[in-house]
Every structure is written in C-alpha cells, then in structure tokens.
Structure 1
Amino acid sequence: MEEVELVCTDASALVEAIGSLAVRGAPLLGIAGAYGVALAAARGFDVPEAAQALEGARPTAVNLSVGVRRALAAYEAELAGSGEPAAAAEAALAAARALHRQDAEASARMAAHGLALLGELLPGGGHRILTHCNTGALVSGGEGTAFAVALAAHREGRLRRLWVDETRPLLQGARLTAYEAARNGMAYTLLTDNAAGSLFAAGEVDAVLIGADRIAADGSVANKVGSYPLAVLARHHQVPFIVVAPLTTIDMATPDGAAIEVEQRAGFEVTEVMALQAQVTGAGGGIPVAPLGTQAYNPAFDVTPPELVTAIVTEEGVVSPVTGEALAEMCAAATG
C-alpha cells in the first residue's frame, strides 16, 4: 500500500475526484469543498457556478455543503465590500484554512471525549472495538473521528483489538483503515462485513465506533452502508454503539432520517471487484464477479435511528441519550 497525492488544478477536477471517491470522508469533503471555492476564485473561474458543482458532487455528506458555503460567503462578502476579485479569493482561502484548522482541533477534542466515554462505559480497559469504513487521518484535517478515539485508546494502552470491517463494496476498511491501523502500530484484525454477527455472538466486541456523513435533527445517523446492521447487532448484544462526528456533521435543517438523501451509486461497484479503484488509477475495469447485465442495489449509505445510538461524540462533548432536544442544545451552546 502507498499514499499518492492527487493534485487538482481546478474545481472541475476536484468535483471529479469527489465523485470517484478519491476525496472522501465527511470532514475532508468539507475542507476540500472550501478549498475548491478558493481555487476557483484564484483561477478566475465563475465562483458561484463552481460552488454549485462542488456542493452537488455528493448529496449525503452535509460537511461538503458546509465547507463550500463558508468559503463562498467569505468570497462574496469581500467582493461586495472591496470589489476586488483578488481580495475576495484571499478571503475564500482564509475561510478554507480556518475550517481546516478547526477540523484538526475538533478531531483532537473528539478523541479526548470519546476516550473518556469508553472509560465510563467499559471501566475494565482492554477495549475490543469494531469500526466500519474509514474515519482516520485520511478523511480529516487531524487524526479523524471514530478512528481517532481508537487511536487514543491505543496510545493509552487501552486498545486490545481493533476489528476492521472491510466495508463492501469499495473496501475502505480493508484498503484504508487497515493501512492506518498498521501505520500506527495498532493491534487490528480485518473481517468481512458479514462476519460481524459471529463476533458479537462470541462476545468479542466491547464497543462499536463509527463516523457519520449527516446527523439529522432527531439524531438519526447517515453513515457508510452497513452501519445500520451493526447498530441492530449491537443493541441485541447490549454493546455500546457510538457515533463520533464534528458539529459540522449535524444538520438541524434535516428533521429526521427519512429526510436524508441517500446517494445511490453505480451498479458496477458491486458487480466488479475493485472497479472504481481501477478507473481512478487508469487501470481499466475491475474483475467481474456477477453475470453480465446483473442489476445491483448500491446505496452508499444507510440511516441508523437515534434509539439505536448509545451516544454521539462531538468536539463539544457527548450526547447520550441521543435526542433532538439534546442535539439542539449542544449546537446552540456552540454557536452562542
């Protein structure tokens, strides 16, 4: 495995990178969206048009629109005041850098709050944590969301095992989370998504930690598809199911889980192994695993209702039990 830098020289290239998942993960999408607006402004492109394209690149992760709108607001405010496009471009860049810095700070604070919560819920130590998809430094301005909590536990000598769902169909767990765990010297084991139930049944999971792409006002959580079944398993086996996400992921304008738009992706991601990765790297198509013409159901996300969520960890603290009123209070306190 290796890390490769992808250089996007204009907003359209960034839109393509977001759509192909070369840039992915809720916090990083917000940061990238803000920088995309700044890039369009610096290159002299139509900034509102670029912002619209960026915001529409993926519909479920609210952080993307948050980042785009922050940078666009800074750009338009400066342009209205000074009338200088160059100064407006600098304002957009400053807004993007501020969001980047805030996300790194939020990551560290979420790790601290999450570690304290694990100590309360699992006082014995030696945590065995199951995670899904990728929530580390590859999707954040800092060390991530859910992964940052597991990493903090590892550094404190409190992580016995990190169970890593491979995360079908695009294998973000196998390709990315396992890579980050190995790079940090963590004790980890990779499993197929459909093996998680046997882990719970054997009593091998102490807590589930996931991230989020959008949290509705009632506490419903949209995250990588496969998260909802883990929540059901966790409830049945009386295992804490913890969501770790920055406040920018909470969307008070989305009333409940039914109002969250779930992105539907192309069927070839299911019918071919490593299909998207092959396209991104220019290696052609993936390896077919189903008959030609097979239809595939491929939602990128699913939605977990608040009653299955033990706690939501943000940079401002922990919400538990998860209710719309508690989320609203936290958001109001943070902005007030």
Structure 2
Amino acid sequence: MSLQSIKYSRGSLEILDQLLLPGQSKYVVVRGVEDGWKVINKMQVRGAPAIAIVGCLSLAVEINPEEFGSKKSLRQEIEGKLNYLVSARPTAVNMKIAADELITLANELDKDETVAVSEMKQRFLKATEAMLEKDIADNRAIGAHGAKAIMQRVAEAGGAPAASSGAVRVLTHCNTGSLATAGYGTALGVVRQLAELGKLEHVYCTETRPYNQGARLTAYELVHEKFPATLVLDSMVAALLRAKNVAAVVVGADRVASNGDTANKIGTYQIAVVAKHHGVPFYVAAPLTSIDLAIPSGDHIIIEERPDREMTHVGEHRIAAPGINCWNPAFDVTPASLITGIITERGVFKPAELKEAITKLLES
C-alpha cells in the first residue's frame, strides 16, 4: 500500500510532516488557510500536485463551519484566500491553476441567481474534494503511459535491458511519489507501474541536495514499497549512466512552459545534459495542471530562492564555513531540446508538439 501524505474528510485535514521523515512519521493538523500557507512555505508538504491539493483543502476546512450572509462575501473570501495561498511557493503552477479554476467557479455560482449561498458553499467544497480523487486517477494514467513509452523506446532502440527478463533500470531525481501527490505519484508512478508490470529491474534515486528529498523521501518510499533501489549522490549521475545501463531518466515538474521547457528541482538540468551525452532518454512526468501554456518558454518562469541555511546546515549542524555567501535556487529549467517526452495523464508528447496537443485536449 502506498504512503498517505494527505488525510482528509469533510472539515478535517492532516498532512504528513515531510520535514521529519524518514526519522519520524507525524501528521500535522491543518485548520485553515494560515496553516495551509505555512506547511507549504516551510515544505512540510511539497510536490506541485500536493501543494495545490493541500492549499485548496485548507480553504475548504476553514469555510466548512462558517455561515456566510451573502454569496458575494463567500466569493470574496474564496478569491482572497486562494490568491494568498498561491504566494506560498510561486514556482509550482498547480496551485495557481487550481486557484484560478476555483475562483472562476465561485464567480459563476455568485452570478447564478438560482444558486443559494448554502448551495454555493457545498458545491465549492465538493470541487476541492474532487481534486484528491482526480489526482490519483491522473497519476495512475501517467504511470501507465510512462511505462509503456519507456518499454517501447527500449524495444525500438534494440538495446538489451539490464535483466534477462526484459526489466529495465531507471533513474529519478527529487521526490515525485505518494508524498508529493494525493497518491501513487508522477515520475515515481511510472516507476511503480514498471514494478507492477514486472519490468523494473532497478531504480536509482539521487539525494537531491540541498534539501535531500531524494535521500529522505524517495528512498523512504522505495524502501516502503520494497522496490529494488539504490541511492546515489547528485554528483554520481554521470558515472552511473556510464556504468549501469540505465534505460531512462524520469523526473517530475513544477511548471512546464508551452514550448516544453521544464522547471523542476535544482539539479534536474544537469542530469538532462548528462543523459543527452550518454544517449539515455529523459522524460518529464507531469499532470496537465503542471503545464502553463501562458508561459512561452522557461525564461519566463519565476525561480524561487530558498534560505542560505538549507545549504549551510544539516539539521542544527553547520557544515559550511561561516561568512561564505550562498546562492540557493530551489529549481532550475531544463530546455525542451534535452527532453525526450513529457508524460501526462492524456499521453506522452514531444516538447515541440506539446502546445498544439494540449490546446486540442483542453478544447475537447
């Protein structure tokens, strides 16, 4: 059974505190929007899909017990609080897209004279709750499409898989599993699907400095699932791809521009460069909500910068020389030219065909 990072029932929300993993599994109660903003900003919850879900559900639990005198006051509450939640971590586009969709819903319900304020609130709550189920379904579809694409690529290339059974070795970066989503995972969902098909010979995960999401979270999930897995240092990727016959790299995304440029955890870009050099396919696994067609290229993606302390300390122990300057971008942008395919719940697309394909899907 996959890990549960989000526990929700009407009026109640808890999140698994990822700052304490793997040493301690503790759930934090989220009572409203202020709590939601804090757990997102402090990275107690992270991963673009999970950020959006927790942010929206934090508003749901806040307004659930409230009585609103008018639809206008409810609409203003929804709009103001959702825009505030977007500011917690601005690089991940999922929260912004979810906020825009829910604000649009609130505006439509406000204008509909046949809808009473009580019904408006109930319909808003149901819309936020539906995000949980949809995310899991989307992740399963991403896993299926991604596993199929990798196995087809191996067959077309004519290269022998690592194992005689036809199973493959893959590499992933950062955390993209149940801890980063409502469940199952995006890039780790692809790994999970390969395992379910009996096609996973081995998965390698990077430590993901400076926050160590790979070492703390992905490794935790892989051990929990009993997958054949090995942790490697970020600086070992070139040597790994040269020595271990890795069939594909699969990573997640915090935001994908319309041309396919992809913002993801810092370190992703250099892995893509190394994969290109070694002829290893590089895939991005992301739901449609991570694709921002309003942004033409990665040059327009705002990159969040994190505190120096994440680099200079491990826990309470300082590892860097006092007085040294730090540059700590949380993300980098991988150019579309380095990406083999973008795996979504609706299929796998080459970066060059992404905008046209997604536009057609959204219109259908």
State the TM-score, normalizing by the size of structure 2.
0.84
- The corresponding residue for 1:198 is 239
- The corresponding residue for 2:225 is 184
Deviates more, 1:257-266 or 1:115-124: 115-124
- The corresponding residue for 2:123 is 91
Q: Find out whether 1:122 has 2:154 as its counterpart.
A: yes
- The corresponding residue for 2:71 is none
Give yes or no for contact 2:31–2:58 (8 Å, CA) kept in 1. no
Give the Å deviation of 1:85.
Answer: 4.3
Q: 1:89 to 1:3 in 2, by over 3 A?
A: farther
**Residue type at the aligned position of 1:136:** G
Instruction: Give, in whole Å, the separation in 2 of the partners of 1:200 and 1:206.
Output: 9
Q: How is 1:1-336 mapped onto 2 (pairs within 5 angstroms)?
A: 1=22, 2-42=24-64, 44=66, 46-81=77-112, 84-123=116-155, 124=161, 125-274=166-315, 286-320=316-350, 322-323=351-352, 325-336=353-364
Instruction: Give, in whole Å, the separation in 2 of the partners of 1:304 and 1:5.
Output: 34
Give yes or no for contact 1:109–1:315 (8 Å, CA) kept in 2. yes
Instruction: Give, in whole Å, the separation in 2 of the partners of 1:237 and 1:3.
Output: 39
Give yes or no for contact 1:36–1:68 (8 Å, CA) kept in 2. no
Give yes or no for contact 1:62–1:251 (8 Å, CA) kept in 2. yes
Deviations 1:44-86 (A, max 9, x none): 4833221121011111110011122223333333334357544
Give yes or no for contact 2:140–2:184 (8 Å, CA) kept in 1. yes
Instruction: Give, in whole Å, the separation in 1 of the partners of 2:306 and 2:111.
Output: 39
- Structure 1's unaligned 5+ residue stretches are 275-285
Q: 1:216 to 1:235 in 2, by over 3 A?
A: same
SS at 1:258's partner residue? helix
- Structure 2's unaligned 5+ residue stretches are 1-21, 67-73, 156-160
State the TM-score, normalizing by the size of structure 1.
0.91
Give yes or no for contact 2:132–2:182 (8 Å, CA) kept in 1. yes
Instruction: Give, in whole Å, the separation in 2 of the partners of 1:48 and 1:269.
Output: 33
SS at 2:110's partner residue? helix
Give the Å deviation of 1:254.
Answer: 0.6
**Residue type at the aligned position of 1:59:** P
What percentage of residue pairs aligned between the two structures are identical?
Answer: 36
**Residue type at the aligned position of 1:23:** V
Give yes or no for contact 2:260–2:354 (8 Å, CA) kept in 1. no
Instruction: Give, in whole Å, the separation in 2 of the partners of 1:331 and 1:184.
Output: 36
Instruction: Give, in whole Å, the separation in 2 of the partners of 1:331 and 1:178.
Output: 36
Deviations 1:184-230 (A, max 9, x none): 11000011111111112224422100000000011000000000000
SS at 1:189's partner residue? strand
**Residue type at the aligned position of 1:47:** I
Give the Å deviation of 1:43.
Answer: 5.2
SS at 1:138's partner residue? coil
Give yes or no for contact 1:37–1:71 (8 Å, CA) kept in 2. no
- The corresponding residue for 1:283 is none
- The corresponding residue for 1:282 is none
**Residue type at the aligned position of 2:344:** T
Give the Å deviation of 1:183.
Answer: 1.0
Give yes or no for contact 2:32–2:59 (8 Å, CA) kept in 1. no
Moved over 6 A (4+): none
SS at 1:6's partner residue? strand
SS at 1:140's partner residue? coil
